Structures are given as C-alpha cells and as structure tokens.
Structure 1
Amino acid sequence: MIQSNYVGKAYLQGMGTPRFALRSIVLFLITLPCLMCGRPEPTYATLPQSPGGFQMAVADFHWLVGHWVRQGQPTDTETHEIWRTHPDGALRGHGFILRNQDTVWEEKMVFAAGQDGWQLTVETPGNDDAVIFDLTASGNQDFVVENPQHDFPQRIHYWREADTLKAAVSADSTLLSFVFSPKPR
C-alpha cells in the first residue's frame, strides 16, 4: 500500500514535465479529429439542391427568424410576421393583421426543403388549398419564391437590410412592398 502511494505521487509529480505536456498535446491532436468525424451538424442536413445547383440548409435563412412589425401603418392597425425554426428543419411563419386589437386577417407559412428544393407553403383562411411557391433565387440575406399559376401574388421576395426585414409581393404590373422592424421588447 505504501508503495502504491509512492508510485502515485511520483506519477503526479511527472505531470508537470515538458515531456508530459508534449504527450498530452499529441494525444489531444490525435483524438480531436476522431471525435469530430461522426458528428453531423444539426442545422445543415443533406438537403436538395436549390437554384444554381448549391445545397442550402435552414441556417441559411436564419436571418428571417424573429417577430416583425410592419412600419407605416395607421395607428389602429398592426401587421405582424413571426418566423421560428421548427425541429423538423423548417421555418414556420405566422402573419396576421390586428385592427383595434382584433385579428382581421392571418396566414400560416412553412418554408422547408422538399425533394425538389425549397418551397414556401402559404395557408390563408377562405382558401381551400395551400399555395406553394418554389424557391427560384437566393442570396446571403434574401430569397425569391414564385408560383406563376397563382393569381396574386406570383412572386414573393424577402430580404434583410440592417435591422429591417423587407418583402415585396407581385404579379404582372402589381407590386406591394412591406418594411418590418423587430418588435420592441
């Protein structure tokens, strides 16, 4: 028993030597790549290719996430868009208009990767079927989705400029623009 304590003490005293430090660094450098090899990144799953032949993940659209309030509205009206990431890998949005604190209009949106690329699916009350828009262009902080068969809109463009979220919906010669700010906390 006394001998094992002595061996343990000698071992601990050797931990401060340059040789021990070098061994520790080498062991760390060998172990680190092994630990990283099998670890997938949760936000960048293998997804279908988007326009231009590149793959995109939900993290590429994270700039959309937040609670946004439209600027330039009458005092009795508020337009909101709330975007959240969902565990299924999609972005889910809820847009609604309040007039005198009553909800007068709303829509549910899902922006997700499908087999043919990214799509924005929009459901509004009064419409039996959801409208699906295909991603046709995207950049660092913007994207365009389109559905030429839909009456209005046929094209939706979202983009970020500094702290604002902007959107434009259009069809033929009609264009509506929106500017949103983050909801004050």
Structure 2
Amino acid sequence: MRKLLPLIAVVLLVGCQSKVAEAFDTRQNAGPCPPVGSLYDVSRYVQFADPSDETYNKIAYTAEITDVRSFCRYAGKDPLDAQLEIDFAFGKGPAADKDSHTYPYFVAVTRRNGKVLAKEYFNVEGDFNGKKLAGKTESFSKIKIPRLDESIAGTNFEIVVGFDLTADQLEFNRAGKRFLLNADE
C-alpha cells in the first residue's frame, strides 16, 4: 500500500494540472501588442488660478503621465484584448484652493496612420491629503480591438493616452513651457 500512495498522488496531480491548463488560454499570441504611450503635447497638465498670469504663484494644479503599460492577448481570429495601466503624478501649487483635484484624460485606439478608431474620456482624482505631491495608477481591463482576420497584427494599432486639455493648456505645452512642483517647497 505504501508503494501505491506516491503513484496515486502523481496520477491525481496530473489530472489536476490538465484541468488547470484547460482554464487558461495557452495559445501563443498571434503577434506583438500594439505600441502604447502618451503624446508629449498632452502628457502634462498645468492649471493656473488666472490663465492670463502664467507665473509660479498662480499655479493651482499640475499633473504628468509618467508611465503607460499594456498587456495584450490575441490568438487566431480573436479580437485583441488589451489591459492598460497609467501612472499619474499630481502637484498642488500655491494657488490651489482644495486638497483634491479632478484631472480629465482620454484613452484612444488608433491605426498606425493616426486615424482614431475609438476614444473615451475619463477623470482621475488627485487626492493630496495635506501634501503638495501625490500619485496614482489607473488600470483598465479589456480594451477590445476587433481585427478583420488573423493576418492583422497588434502592431497595426496604437493605444494613446493623454490629458483632455483646454486650448490654453495645450498652447502652454506646445510652447515648451513647464512647471514642476518641488516637494521641498
């Protein structure tokens, strides 16, 4: 009987492994994931208490998209399912009037030629808890990108994120102006 116990345990484990493996899609990805990132012009957010006065003392809130990561899965003719993580850094300036701020941003799926296929808008809350700097990671599961057939690879698409800026904020960024709040102040 003692000699049979190890054999029975091995048979039971092999049976468990095959059931576990069936629960996961083990097919190889049909190709690489789409490139993902943030465009320079919309990766920074600066809000002034008075838009006509762009001095340090008039900064209310700032933010920056510091990193974007994606994970994807597709095989055969399946649509491409992407998961996305966005890291945000927030700053509260001298003219801030609250201990939290809502920052609008977007996530877009584009073709490599720049044509936008889908774009959604979101808000992320920067909670400062009495400090001048804060950070947060937002996660999205299941961004679905339909493919016509299995010959279409993920590299034919891009996932782009950025802040939904006003015309003044966009002009500020495009002019190369920049304020970073110092944690020591």
The TM-score normalised by the length of structure 2 is: 0.32
| Larger Rg computed on CA atoms | 1
> How does the TM-score come out when normalised to structure 1?
0.32
